[in-house]
Amino acid sequence: MTADIRGNNKYINAWAFYDWANSVYSLVIASAIFPIYYGVLFRQSGVDTVAIFGGTIRSTPLISYTTALAFLLVALSSPILSGIADYLGNKKAFLKFFCYLGSLSCMGLYFFDLESIYMSLGFYFFGLIGFWGSLVFYNSYLPDIAFPEQQDAVSAKGFSMGYIGSVLLLIVNLAMVMKPESFGLPADGQGSITAMRMSFIMVGIWWMGFSQYTFAVLPKGVTSGKKLTKQVVFNGYNELKKVYDALTHNLRLKRYLVAFFVYSMAVQTIMLIATYFGEQEILWPDDTSKTTGLILSILIIQILAMIGAQLTSKASSRFGNINTLIAINMVWAVMSVYAYFMETPYQFYGAAAIVGLVMGGIQSLSRSTYSKFLPETTDTTSYFSFYDVAEKIGIVIGMLLYGFIDQLTGSMRNSILFLIVFFISGIILLTRVPRNLNKV
């Protein structure tokens, strides 16, 4: 791969277009249609548990544990895979592999049912692996196709394209679910369920199909022609260890990372389970209202997340990054308590609006704060790899704890209330982060 491709709009557009292709997974599968479909399966079967691995487990802990396992695999394997891809110069081959794994798994969700629970969870599991695995290699292209001063704008362009594309497909899917007769499906509940299953196929086709432009344009990389050795395989872990060792000499970055790890654990967990919570715990008038209301809530969150990111950016300029993060975590803590008591759809819409505002803000500000705290002369790739792995490990712990408390107490409300511990701990840890730029 040569440096002269950087700044070329042809490659920048092709890179950003992959966000258009794959973001439908995170919105339609992870956040909207699949959680609703998952709840419908259990409700129609008249059960809230499933027999698996010689025991029984409730529906929500089951999906929490499966999600945690997928994130654990991605967290453990991404340093190895990214190191191999960089050494061999074939990151596009890895990007393709995970794209096809994820998109085909999404199509496989069409066959998701409780009678074939192992196969069904396998499709869900590998869909997660495909999406998050592909992002490892997708993100690694950014410094190859954009100069440092362009990277913020290029990254934002990808995010914007992903947002637009995913919302467009979700609107189509919503129309299919709400008006199945307009798409040649039965005008009843079964028609809506079929529409949900068809949505999974549409996501897979969209993801795989639109990715072809990205694959056709992005460079393959330069093949080294060298043999793959044990040292190369574990080079990614060696780089992470170097970052970990370097943190002992950077008190501010170390304390910030610990705080981020703690509060991000709770934030990411809520984002992943929000729809499952709304599907199971909110008192909707009927199934049609439930489906419409949950998808509407997701759209509210998506739209307000962009506004929240802008408002948070202005707040951080005035009050400072750490103070703004402390304030946002306070809002999240209050939301955890509020969620424990909310029951009506309108209460859920209100929660969705607030979550949207603080979700976009805390994600964008957390990453930019981390970037500001990095040493001036360092390998930023390794530091951000460490950041990403820490975030994913946090998700694993958060989802496991959430699922365990849900299974133990029989209520998702207890699980979400418990998350307040992480937000309060995060606030306390953030107050210990030195504000002085020269203090280490």
d(CA 194, CA 303): 28
Q: Please name which of 431, 311, 396 lies closest in space to residue 359, comparing C-alpha atoms.
A: 311
| CATH assignment of the domain containing 18 | 1.20.1250.20
Residues 267 and 165 reside in one and the same domain: no
Which class for 248: exposed (0-12), middle (13-18), buried (19 or more C-beta within 10 A)?
Answer: exposed
Asked if residue 275 belongs to a domain, the reply is yes
Considering its fold, how many domains does the chain have in total? 2
Q: Do residues 133 and 70 share a domain?
A: yes
Residues 282 and 354 in one domain: yes
294 with 212, same domain: the answer is no
**CA–CA separation, 365 and 375 (whole Å):** 18
Q: What are phi and psi of 105, to 5 degrees?
A: -65, -35
Asked if residue 426 and residue 287 are part of one domain, the reply reads yes
Q: What is the pLDDT along the chain (440 residues), one digit of tens a residue?
A: 444 678 888 988 998 899 899 989 988 898 888 988 998 888 888 888 888 888 888 888 899 899 999 999 988 887 877 767 666 667 888 899 999 999 999 999 999 999 899 999 999 999 999 998 888 788 777 777 877 677 667 776 777 788 788 889 988 998 898 888 998 888 777 888 999 999 999 999 999 999 999 999 988 765 555 566 666 667 778 878 888 888 888 888 889 999 999 999 999 888 888 888 888 888 988 877 888 888 888 888 878 877 887 788 788 888 888 999 999 999 999 999 999 999 999 999 999 999 888 887 787 788 778 877 877 654 566 777 788 888 889 889 988 998 889 888 888 899 888 999 999 999 999 999 987 644 33
Residues 124 and 273 reside in one and the same domain: no
- Determine the Cα–Cα distance for residues 296 and 349; give it in Å rounded to an integer: 8
Same domain membership, residue 238 and residue 173: no
Report the 3 state secondary structure along 183-217.
Answer: HCCCCCHHHHHHHHHHHHHHHHHHHHHHHHHHHHH
**226 within a domain of the structure (yes/no):** no
Same domain, 175 and 108: yes
Give the tokens for residue 166. Answer: 């995913």
Q: How far apart are CA 17 and CA 23, in angstroms?
A: 10
- Enter the pTM of the model: 0.82
CA atoms within 13 A on the CB side of 69: 13
Q: Do both 199 and 261 map to the same domain?
A: no
Cα separation of 323 and 58, whole Å?
40
Domain of residue 80 covers: 1-219
Q: Which two tokens stand for residue 120?
A: 């069904």
3-state secondary structure of 439: coil
My answer on whether 144 and 280 are in the same domain is no
Residues contacting residue 214 through CB under 8 Å, at least 6 positions apart: 14, 15, 17, 18, 21
